[in-house]
Each structure stands twice: as C-alpha cells, then as structure tokens.
Amino acid sequence: MRKSLILTLCLVSVLLTSCSPRDYLTRRLAADLINTSDTFKTPQQFVLQTGVISNKDYVAPEYLVLQHHGWISATTAPCSPGLIPPPCWDVLLTPAGVDTVRALIPADAVSRPALNIPVAKRELVAVTGISKQGNQADVDFSWRWIPLNEIGAALYSRDLQYNSTVGFRDYDDGWRVVAAHSAPRTGQALDEALKTAEPAQ
C-alpha cells in the first residue's frame, strides 16, 4: 500500500512538472503576452513636418489640431516639384509650439524639418475572447491610447477604445504571439492587428 502511494505521488509530481503555465492559453496569459510584446509597447510617434508641405498634408486632421492649439502656423509658399496639389504651405512652429515640442525631443532635433514626437502609448483594456483550433488561436482584445504629453492629449482620446484580433501559436515551449514574419502561415500578426483596429462600439 505504501509503495503504491509513493509511486502515485511520484507519477503525479512528474506530470505536474511537465506542464508549464504557458501550455494553456488563458485570457491572463494572452494579456501578459500582448502587454510584453515589443510591438504593443512601442510608443506612437507623430512626425511633424515643418517647412514647405503640400495642401493635402496641411489640411490633415493632425495639423488642424496643432493649428487649433496654436503650436504651428503657416503661410502660402510655392510648391517644390513633386508636391501636389497646390497650394503649398510653409509650416513653422510658433513660440508656444517651440516651448511644447522642445521638452519632447532631443535638443539637436529642434532644427530638423521632420520632428519625431512620441505622443501616446497603448494600454490593454481586456482580452475579450479566445478561439483555439489545434496549435493556433485567435485572441480578441480591446485597447486604447494613453497620451504621453500635451500633443498626445490633443491628438489621441483616452476614451476611445479599439478592438483587435491577433494570432497566437503553440510552440514546444508554450504559446506565443504571432510575429510579423510568420503571419502568412498563421493568424494575424500583432503589428497588423493594431494597424487594422476598429473603434469599439
């Protein structure tokens, strides 16, 4: 009796140690894998083009927001070859724009015509569903932008949520988010899922 009990305990302990937490795709594991992926953690950059730009760029919603806040101003300018349709605009940072942008970018970047400004980061709201088929799964999740600064708050609303679906694959060491280079074989990669996100209803 005692030998069978010891044998049973040994067998149970071997079976329990062969399973890792990543062997079972739960909502919590999916959320952890999405949150820790480099793609999800990469901040959103806004490229502010100063100097002569096309009318199409100047009337884009982002530029209209920056104008409304008094961070940029522009005067009409002759179009360079390749900038269409006319009219073109010479965009400058206003003194308020210089003060706002200066703290957000490296000091040597202020004089460049294209300013890469980090404006927002993603926040996972919830994993809303998991559909598994064999060693592959589609994970539905909702997320939102969290502004990092004044410009981010002007361009991205915290209140707007997005829905995305990303592919997962079960490997020998557990579940992983589908990487962009392996997406054609499996579900949608995370970078594509974030690009094609739809506003939540």
Bond prior to 85 in cis (omega within 30° of 0)? yes
From the list 75, 52, 73, the residue with the least C-alpha distance to 63 is 73
Gap between the Cα atoms of 131 and 165, Å rounded: 10
The 3-state secondary structure of 63-101 reads HHHHHHCCCEEEEEECCCCCCCCCCEEEEEECHHHHHHH
4 vs 31: which has the higher pLDDT: 31
Q: What is the pLDDT of residue 85?
A: 75
Gap between the Cα atoms of 179 and 157, Å rounded: 28
Q: What is the pLDDT of residues 153-181, one digit of tens each?
A: 999 999 999 999 999 999 999 999 987 66
Q: What is the pLDDT of residues 81-138, one digit of tens each?
A: 888 778 999 999 999 999 999 889 888 887 788 999 999 999 999 999 999 999 999 9
* CB contact burial 16-25 (16+ within 10 A = b; e otherwise): eeeeeebeeb
Asked whether 186 and 138 are in contact (CB, 8 A), the reply is no
Least-confidence region, from 51-60, 64-73, 176-185: 176-185
Distance of CA 157 to the CA centre of its chain: 14
Q: Residue 118: phi, psi to the nearest 5? A: -70, 125
pTM above 0.75, yes or no: yes
Gap between the Cα atoms of 102 and 104, Å rounded: 6
